[in-house]
Amino acid sequence: MKFYIKNEQGYSLLITLFTFVLISLFGFSLFIVTNNTMKTSANERIDQSVYYVAEAGLVEKRAALFEQIQKAHQQAVAEYTNQLLTTPLHQQTINFQEIFKKELDKTVDISSDVINDFEKNFSHQATAEIEIHREEHLASNIISYTIYSTGSLNDKERKVSQRIVVALNTVSTIPDSGTGNVGDFAVYSKNNITYGYYGIKDQVKGHLASASTSQVEVNGWYPEPIHITYDPDSFDQLVNETFQQQLHFDSSAFENIDYRPNHSPLIKGNSLIGNWNEHHNKVLTLIDHLKLDTFSTSNNLTLNIDVGQSDKILFVDRLTFDGTVNILGTGSLTIFVKESLNFKYSNINVNGDPNKLNIYYAGSDKITIANGLHLKANLFIKNADLTFSGGAGISGSFYSNGTGKTLINGGTVSKDVLFVMPHSNFTLTGGANFIGSILCNDLLIDGGAKIDSQAGGGLGKPITIEINPTNPIHSNPIVEVNG
């Protein structure tokens, strides 16, 4: 007979104890893992915070550095412009890079710094220690500033850096066409400047210069030499560069233009010969470039020429200005005169800008501008003599690359007058009062004449120069520094 004992309580207890131990071990392991993960997360959070502190310190210092660099750049541009405006062309050795470098050295603060105004992290104060290292690379026209920022928090440190490159050559200079970049000369002569007597020196206001001599010649006795600027180089530079376009006289350029007929009732037989009954207070409308045999206005007559909204060219064989001629419209009028040019008692473009009327004269007969003429225009002469007499009132510029002679005999040549005639011999006499400036081959001033470039106009007018600065700053990316 077999007996089975069915009491299993001891076995269940063993299973329960084993399960409890296993769960305890798992819970303890999970606690250790969780605790280690929390510690690692805290360390990573602090480590990342330290990086952010270092980066924030760098960004703050970089903003201040950028502001200082831009301020230095603005000051350098202003100083460079001032030197260009106040230094005669023949003396200009102005270097923007040197000016900018000096301003950077004066303005940019590269001293060490500590930034500690960050929010506390678990009662710990974060700091960023800043250093700036400056390097010159003058062969490449650059100066670099490397910012180092070391972030510190709870005995942890991380260091970042960023290189800021400053280009020194960051302006382009565009001199004003025409008279703008000539300087402050009353007379610039290729050869001699001669005074009829010593006292004339008090009648000349403005600088004198010559490409071949260092003093004024004086006819007769004088107590001491009158020294002038001797500059053998910039005369040709002015002629060949600054005034090359104005002195280039190309008749064929006007001959080959497509001229269209104008059916205005003011034109008869391909000429306009003004008379009171048909032309007074009338308007000649130029719808296109026009070619005429003769263009002539008469005394006391007022004729208006409307060029519309675009520049027009009027080609004439013979031109006589008398009476009053007004230029209407927003465009400009260029008149090419092939054979003869005569100015009489007239008012030409007196209410307009001189640049609205340009007159090219290809003939060889002398041009006389006498008492009673008031003209606002630019006159381009191929190779003819020019005489001013009496009280003519002129405003504008006169250009010639020919070898003609120019005589100013009495009267006043008005404000803002510029003569650029590098091969022409000039004479001022008869009490002429010339307000403006002259570039010529030779100059003789005599007979109580006066020259005043400081009152305005010509070579003596203030220089206007367009300065185009560009951003001098280039930033490399922020990188972490190990070690």
Give CB contacts under 8 A, 24+ apart, made by 303-306. Answer: 303/274, 303/279, 304/328, 305/333
What residue spans of 90-172 are helical by DSSP H?
96-107
Closest CA to 422 of 243, 250, 245: 243
Other CB atoms within 10 Å distance of the CB of residue 422 = 23
Sign of the four-CA dihedral 286, 288, 289, 290: negative
For 163, phi then psi, to 5°, come to -100, 125
Mode of pairing for the β-strands spanning 271-273 and 433-445: unpaired
Identity (one letter) of the amino acid at 230?
Y
Tokens 């002129």 belong to 394
Q: Chunked in runs of 10, what are the mean pLDDT values of the chain (483 residues)? A: 54 69 66 55 70 92 95 90 62 77 94 87 83 89 94 88 91 46 72 93 87 90 85 81 86 92 94 91 95 92 94 96 93 95 91 92 91 89 88 84 90 77 93 88 92 60 58 91 78
* pLDDT given at position 50: 87
* pLDDT given at position 26: 65
End-to-end CA distance of the chain: 87
* pLDDT given at position 430: 87
Q: CA dist 100 to 133, 143, 164, Å?
A: 19, 10, 16
Q: What's the rounded Cα separation, in Å, for the pair 255 and 271?
A: 18
SS (H, E, C) 215-264: ECEECCCCCCCCECEECCCHHHHHHHHHCHHHHCCCHHHHHCCCCCCCCC
* pLDDT given at position 333: 95
Identity (one letter) of the amino acid at 426?
F
Other CB atoms within 10 Å distance of the CB of residue 400 = 26
Tokens 């399960």 belong to 19
